[in-house]
Each structure stands twice: as C-alpha cells, then as structure tokens.
Structure 1
C-alpha cells in the first residue's frame, strides 16, 4: 500500500459525525495491548456492533494508506447508520519488531485482539451482546473465520476481499502483475526473486528455524507454517453463523478468479451465505475505471457507499 502522505483525511459524504460518539479503548492486555476507537451511535439502545480487522501489514486502526483511511470510512459510515464499531491499531504497527519474533504468527497478530474487542463491545450497555459481528478486510477477512471459530459469541462475518489463495502464491501472482505494468529488467527481477522465495514455503523442509531472508515478505518460518495449516474457506464453511462476502471486480491483489471463486465453491452448502461483487471497485473498495494499478491508492478516495449500504442492511436484519 502507499505510505501515509500526511494529507488530511476528510469524512466521506455518507458519514454523519453528529450521529455517533467516539471513545478511546485499550484492546488486549500486557505488552501486546493496543489502542483502539469505539464508535457508538447516539441515543440508541441494543444496537448491532462490528469489530473491524485491517489487512496484512503494519496498519494503524484506520488502515491508513496514502491519503486514505478505508477502515475509518467503514467505521464512520456504519456508525452513522446505527451500528457500533470498534477498530484498533495492529500490534505490528505499535510494535514494529514483533513480526520478527520466531513464534509470531497470523493467529497471534489478529485473534487475541479481535476476541478482546468482541468482549469490549458486548460489555457496552448500548450494544446488543447477541449481535456482535466481525468485519475483516484482505488478510483481516482471511483470518475472520478463525476468530469466529475461537469465539462462539460472534454473530456473523463480513469478509471484504478476503484472500483464499495461498498467500505465497498470491505474492508471486501480484508481483508478476506489477511487472507486467512496468516491463523493465528490474521489475522482472523482483518477480523472479519472489517466485524463488515462495518456492521455499512449498518445500518440505520449511521450519521455524528457516531464515526470514529466505522467505517471502520478511515473515518468519513459524508465520508461514501457521498460514499453511489454516484453511479459511473450510473454516468458514464449518461455522453456523451468517456470512457476507464482498469483492471488488478491479482488485488485482485479491481477485475474482483466484480468491472469490474459492469462497464461492467452498461455501456452496453453507446455509446462510451472501456474495456481493462491485465491478468497479478495487482492493480498497474504491470505485474506478481502467486497469488497476498501485497509483490508484495515492489519490484521496472513499469506500464505495454501496458497500456500506449492503453491510448495514445485512447486519441490521440479523
């Protein structure tokens, strides 16, 4: 994603800051506790609520990318529609070296904090404790079924551009796509290097002791082993809770063909699943036109209002 440009974020047109109040909270405990923000609709009782999970990487609670804050868009949009939200800084953002710890995994990165956030919302008198949902974007969507499997109180999941293809294979595909946009020897070399690193993940000898320098994305061997042992689609299929899966048609990171198709196929027998595709939206659910590129994330934009409407309608009727 694009680095934070320092450009001031402006609320999306569909957000009404007078409709809700925000409160600082602490999510988790001990050395890995992080700061978060709870957005509670004003003058309402027994409202549904949703914990928001950002994508992979060291994101703050708003999933800041360039001048954009897609998770804050979602939080403010839903709170304006009468749904409480809780978003929090990822531990990889507050403690930059934690990802290098040998025992640090995707599970450790997300699940304890998500469970703490669920409890915080369920304790609020304004919230209907039986209607606390989890909404995850990108890797946050990938891990959302694992959160629900660990916490039976979760009332349902919203998975936005959740990746289902093995992540090291996805990294190779994305790097090759970016190389196709920049057909230079340097780009080709980056794609070839990613393919070599990804091949290490597929080897039988992968272990927690495998050096990070030999693996994709600077993640540890333990992190990759945790990913290899987790099947998001089959985990979601075993859940009794409602599922809403959203996908942008212009997303080159998590795609209709490589990821969304896996969710569709694997959830055929789930009793309560809804799929939504937004043909013009990219990975951050920003509407646009033409072939998607990383430059799309550098312009100030907001999450598609149709996405907020669909999510709110789904949660409100539960």
Structure 2
C-alpha cells in the first residue's frame, strides 16, 4: 500500500478534529506548531468556526494555494448550512508546520499601486471620490472620467457575492479596479463603489437581494448620469452579472449590460454545483441531498428569517425565489455582452455560459465571448503571478461598449 499523500493527511487531520479527537492529530504536528495549541484550544476554535453551520456532511478534496509564498492545502469542510475551509501547511512530506481553521490564502495584503495593470493609462482620465446615495448609509465610491470629452459613455460596476469593496478585492486581485481603470483608459467613464454589506451590517430581515445589490446599483446609475455621462450601462461580475438584467429592468433607462463570469442558473443551484465539485462522485447524493433540502426549506418559509445559510440569512435566499436571469435578460431589448473564462471553476462555462447562449444566442445585439485559460476573475488560471484581469477581455469589453448601438 502506498503511503498517504499530503492531501490524504490534511483530510484525515480535519476529520479527526471534527470528530473531537484533537489530541490524536498532535502526532502530525511539527514542534513549533505543538506550542500553539492545546487540545481544548483547538476544539474551541473549531466550534467557533462551525457552530452556526449545522451538521458536518462531508470533507472535500484539498486545493493547493499560496500562503505568504508558501504552498498550502486548503481543505473545504461542507456543513448543512455552509462551508468553511481549513488551511494546512506541511514542513515535509507528512509533518504539519501550520494549521489555520480558515482559508487564509485570500487574506494576504498587497500594494495596489504596484499591481496596477500596464494597460491602465493614468493620464487618460481623472479619478475622484464620490458617494452613492442609498437607504441607510451612503456608499463610498470612485468615479473615473475620461479627459477631453464632455459627455462620455459610462458604466456602473456591480460586485459578485459577499461583502466587497469598490475594487472587488480577492486576496491580491482587484478585478473591479482593473476593469474600472482599464475602461476609463479607453474613454469610458466608470463608477465603482463599496458594496452595502461591506459598509454596514444589515439586519437579517432587511438583507434581501434588492437591499444588498439592486437598489444601490440603480442609485449608482443615477449618480453616474448626474455627471453628464451618456449612454449608461451596467458591467456586472458573477452575481452582479446574474442580476444585471434585473438592475436594468428596475432602472428602466440602462443602455447596455455586460455580464462577466455570470451564472445563469439560480444562486442556490450554483452553490450546490460548487459543492458537488468538491466531493467525489460516489458522495454526491449523500452530500447534496440534505443541502438541497435546506435550500428548499429556506425558500418556502420553513426556516426562521434570521437563520444563516451559506453566508446569508434566509431572507436573502427567499428574495431570490422566482428570479430567472435568462428570462429577465430575454425581456430586455438592450445590447448585451457575455464574457466567460473556460477555466472558471466557480461558474462553469459548459453550464452557465451555454445556458445564456441557449436563451439569447439568436439575438443580433447579444455577443458571447469565451476565453481559453481564464478563471472566474478573468485572470490566467495557470499563472499565479499574473493577478490582473486579462487585457484581451478589457479591450474587447471597451470596444464593445464604444461600438454598441443602444
């Protein structure tokens, strides 16, 4: 029998801690790590991470990531109401030198100036801070306006899932900043802003898709028009792309929408698909059935509104019930652009992109572009050193926005 791999060991350690047998994993710890935890501390830290996530269902396949320049394994731990991730660093083939009961690979800081894409021409636009009015607190934002034109075309940038700043920061990547400044370099005004859930903590009962995303995006469009920008469109990434048709419909005056790495299926189905990708084929039914049941209970009113389900209260999931992104897009007459990376593991191109194309592919004013080798953030999937949005994607988006006929 071949010796266990580091991935095998990482999963075994996580399972052992989940079983409440913390002392059993200490044999795997390097001396310096033994000084960081007692059995009681380790189990207490585990409970703090998992108590609100419900019953543990499965432990997925570890993913290799970089943590401060060091290779690490991030182990997904799937519960009935959510996922948390454990980061494991090995000193050698089997000895563990680092253990964090969270995914710390996305927490590394970086210098934004140093990573600004080369395709950004700072001399081509002026950038200033603005506020986007909204219910509750106004949202801090950044407006980039091309120089030398009185009424440029423009877009509002809409974030993906979760609390996000105006740059859409994920670790050392700033996709909304790259897109915003890249488009401004091509003569397109852009407004990006901190997401509602990044600025303030909403009460569970008010955490709906309208309050979290749609209402603020419509307000941002009005704010952009107040600057003399015309025509105005929406560029949404991931969840923001899925909701772009709804935003355009609510606004009533949107001239174009661009959906980047956007899911076509309901968000709950996308989450189930993402979880399915984490577990072996023979564990799919056992893992997904209880989670699917939980989503159904959330959306039919069988759960308390303030209960948490995959990072959001039940109210949020109920507010998405009945929204069909393809149907909403089909009801629009404005030009639309759909862009996807072939290597996107969060929003699979062979499912989501093709569903958009099946629904809208016969429209003359709808464009579809699939890029080989790009991931969910539209950066090269095989190159960890390149963190900027692909220049080819940026240029196509700019050319399309400048050339489309509202």
Tell me, yes or no, if structure 1 residue 169 matches structure 2 residue 233.
Answer: no
- Give the equivalent residue in structure 2 for 1:293: none
Superimposed CA distance per residue, residues 224-279 of structure 1 (whole angstroms, 9 cap, x where no aligned partner): 12212111111001101000000110001101122111111111343410000001
Following superposition of structure 1 onto structure 2, how do residues 1-318 of structure 1 map, counting pairs within 5 Å?
3-9=106-112, 10-95=115-200, 97-98=201-202, 100-125=203-228, 127=229, 129=230, 131-179=231-279, 195-203=289-297, 206-207=300-301, 209-210=303-304, 213=307, 216-289=309-382, 299=385, 301-318=387-404
Supply the distance in 1 between the matched residues of 2:240 and 2:286 (Cα, whole angstroms): 28
Shift of 1:164: 1.4
Q: Is the 8 A contact 2:298 2:314 kept in 1?
A: no
Supply the distance in 2 between the matched residues of 1:205 and 1:302 (Cα, whole angstroms): 37
Structure 1 residue matching 2:141: 3-state secondary structure: strand
Shift of 1:109: 1.0
Instruction: Count the aligned residue pairs.
Output: 298
Provide closer, same or farther for how the CA distance between residues 113 and 193 of structure 1 changes in structure 2, counting only shifts above 3 A.
same
- TM-score if structure 2 supplies the norm length? 0.68
Supply the distance in 2 between the matched residues of 1:158 and 1:272 (Cα, whole angstroms): 12
Supply the distance in 2 between the matched residues of 1:253 and 1:205 (Cα, whole angstroms): 23
Shift of 1:4: 3.8
RMSD over aligned CA atoms reads: 2.4
- TM-score if structure 1 supplies the norm length? 0.86
Superimposed CA distance per residue, residues 185-238 of structure 1 (whole angstroms, 9 cap, x where no aligned partner): xxx79x96665233222249721853655x631322221122121111110011
Provide closer, same or farther for how the CA distance between residues 205 and 112 of structure 1 changes in structure 2, counting only shifts above 3 A.
closer
Supply the distance in 2 between the matched residues of 1:238 and 1:202 (Cα, whole angstroms): 27
Larger Rg: 2
Q: Is the 8 A contact 1:68 1:300 kept in 2?
A: no
Supply the distance in 1 between the matched residues of 2:256 and 2:302 (Cα, whole angstroms): 33
Provide closer, same or farther for how the CA distance between residues 195 and 27 of structure 1 changes in structure 2, counting only shifts above 3 A.
farther
Q: Is the 8 A contact 2:238 2:262 kept in 1?
A: yes
With 131-140 and 40-49 compared, the bigger mean Cα shift is at 40-49
Provide closer, same or farther for how the CA distance between residues 147 and 208 of structure 1 changes in structure 2, counting only shifts above 3 A.
farther
Higher RCO (CA 8 Å, separation ≥ 6 residues): 1
Provide closer, same or farther for how the CA distance between residues 257 and 266 of structure 1 changes in structure 2, counting only shifts above 3 A.
same
Shift of 1:75: 0.6
With 215-224 and 81-90 compared, the bigger mean Cα shift is at 215-224
